[in-house]
């Protein structure tokens, strides 16, 4: 205690150095590895339906995460993948019915959020000081250009799913999914450490842009982004998974209607969803970077 009183700044510097070392190690272990090969291996390994493999894998998973299966629909799972993609019991995620709000499509930790730029590329942020353009995220198709024109000056919210979370995502409001654009890419980790170090990370990773329209005609875009160990997305509106082995076509027209809170698809581990809405919406109370949110709770609001 005496040493602390005499040199408090030295202790702070040592703590900051340890934190920096920890971040460097995390970044090295998760991003300086053969990401695509590791991700494909994990996709195969997680589907092994052997009780010893399943139980050992889940024991390791529990040791490193706060995995909570108390709200799962079934008590036991056939494989690690079966647990990753679990359904929830009825009523586990009450969906807010306030007409003026859009609800969160998934369980998540809120990342960067804010106003979409009104510049031609419609700039947003993945982390402080790390901007990216919606033109890079959504592509340059006529549909993407029209969507970006409507989104300028609107709001974006980044929702990060951790590996222990519920991995299905749902409609934030009654909507029609009109088109899906798939982008082949990398599988960088999408944790906060990587987001502060890898520029335009979301624009580099495997992802899909889901172009939708609310019942009143308002455009809405959801962008599920893959990450290391998870580069497979299943959409109820499409017959095939979108993953690192998928090679097109990349433009996938569809016409699928969803009620508020209805399941749209799932990741096969944890990842990120970027929510993009046009002007007129504001973050719901409590929605701020670092906050936890559950599927069905208010995410964005507009005047009633």
pLDDT tens by residue, 104-159: 999 999 999 999 999 888 999 998 889 999 999 999 999 999 999 999 999 999 99
Catalytic position from the list 170, 179, 182, 266: 170
Contacts of 111 (CB under 8 A, 6+ apart): 126, 127, 158, 159, 160, 192, 195, 272, 289
Give the pLDDT confidence score for residue 19 in this predicted structure. Answer: 42
Q: What is the pLDDT of residue 276?
A: 98
CA end-to-end distance (rounded Å), the chain: 56
pLDDT at 28 over 50: yes
Any residues with CB less than 8 A from the CB of 62 and at least 6 apart, and which?
none
- Looking at per-residue confidence, does 148 or 13 come out higher? 148
Supply the pLDDT for residue 289: 93
In tens, the pLDDT along 219-276 reads: 999 999 987 665 578 899 988 777 666 777 789 999 999 999 999 998 876 689 999 9
Query: What six digits make up the tokens of 87?
Result: 């359904």
Above 60 in pLDDT, residue 12? no
Handedness of CA 257, 259, 260, 261 (dihedral sign): negative
Using 50, 70 and 90 to split pLDDT, how confident is the model at 40?
Answer: low
- Per-residue pLDDT reduced to its tens digit, 155-195: 999 999 988 889 899 999 999 999 999 998 777 777 787 88
Identify whether the C-beta of residue 234 lies closer than 8 Å to the C-beta of residue 268: yes
Q: What is the three-class DSSP state of 40?
A: helix
pTM given for the model: 0.84
Q: Give the three-class secondary structure for 118.
A: coil
Name the band, by pLDDT with cuts 50, 70 and 90, for residue 96. very high
Active-site entry in 107, 113, 179, 269: 107
From CA 202, how far away is CA 199, in angstroms rounded?
A: 9
Q: Confidence class of residue 1 from pLDDT cuts 50, 70 and 90?
A: very low
232 as an active site residue: the answer is no
Q: Is 292 a catalytic residue?
A: no
Distance set, CA 111 to CA 45, 144, 262 (Å): 30, 23, 24
Is 57 tagged catalytic? no
């Amino acid at each position: 205690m005496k040493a602390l009183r005499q040199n408090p700044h030295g202790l702070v510097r040592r703590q900051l150095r340890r934190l920096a070392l920890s971040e460097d190690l995390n970044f090295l272990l998760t991003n300086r590895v053969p990401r695509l090969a590791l991700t494909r291996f994990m996709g195969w390994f997680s589907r092994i339906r052997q009780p010893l493999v399943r139980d050992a894998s889940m024991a390791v998973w529990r040791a490193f995460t706060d995995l909570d299966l108390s709200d799962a629909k079934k008590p036991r799972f056939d494989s690690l993948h079966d647990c990753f993609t679990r359904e929830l019991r009825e009523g586990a995620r009450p969906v807010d019915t306030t007409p003026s709000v859009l609800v969160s499509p998934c369980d998540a930790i809120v990342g960067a959020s804010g106003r979409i730029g009104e510049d031609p590329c419609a700039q947003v942020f993945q982390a402080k000081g790390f901007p990216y353009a919606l033109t890079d995220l959504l592509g340059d198709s006529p549909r993407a250009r029209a969507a970006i024109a409507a989104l300028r000056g609107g709001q974006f919210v980044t929702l990060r799913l951790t590996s222990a979370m519920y991995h299905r995502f749902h409609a934030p409001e009654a909507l029609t999914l009109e088109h899906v654009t798939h982008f082949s890419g990398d599988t960088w980790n999408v944790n906060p450490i990587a987001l502060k170090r890898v520029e335009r990370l979301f624009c580099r990773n495997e992802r899909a842009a889901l172009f939708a329209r609310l019942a009143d005609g308002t455009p809405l875009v959801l962008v599920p982004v893959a990450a290391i160990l998870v580069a497979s997305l299943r959409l109820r509106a499409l017959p095939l998974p979108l993953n690192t082995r998928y090679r097109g076509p990349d433009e996938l027209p569809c016409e699928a209607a969803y009620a508020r809170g209805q399941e749209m698809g799932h990741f096969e581990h944890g990842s990120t969803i970027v929510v993009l809405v046009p002007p007129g919406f504001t973050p719901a109370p409590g929605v701020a970077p670092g906050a936890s949110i559950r599927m069905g709770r208010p995410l964005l609001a507009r005047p009633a």
